[in-house]
Amino acid sequence: MMTPRILFVAALLVPGAAFADQAAGNACAAKLPADAQTIYNASVGQVTPQTDLRALITDQTKSLVMAGTIQRASAKPSAQAAAKCLELVK
């Protein structure tokens, strides 16, 4: 009888942990400069535990620079800052 209860409680806690990570990432991103926030927002929806963050952030940053959404001069430091917040989500 005790084992099913433990499994049930454990199952309830797993989604909560993922939500906490998303909240931590969002809180981190709120403190970022505008270009880094743009990179974070463009990338966060695609982050999973298996995501290669470097590839994702590189692709998103290149696309944003090419579209004129972020400045080329700030792309690298902005991507590095966004990566720290995206790590929290992963």
| Region label for 68, one of left (φ > 0), alpha (ψ between -120 and 50) or beta (otherwise) | left
Model pLDDT, residue 70: 98
CA angle 42, 43, 49 (to 5 degrees): 160
Model pLDDT, residue 12: 46
Tell me the pLDDT tens digit for each residue of 44-81: 999 999 999 999 999 999 999 999 999 999 999 999 99
Model pLDDT, residue 76: 98
Q: What is the mean pLDDT of the segment spanning 7-28?
A: 64
Tell me the pLDDT tens digit for each residue of 19-43: 448 999 999 999 999 999 999 999 9
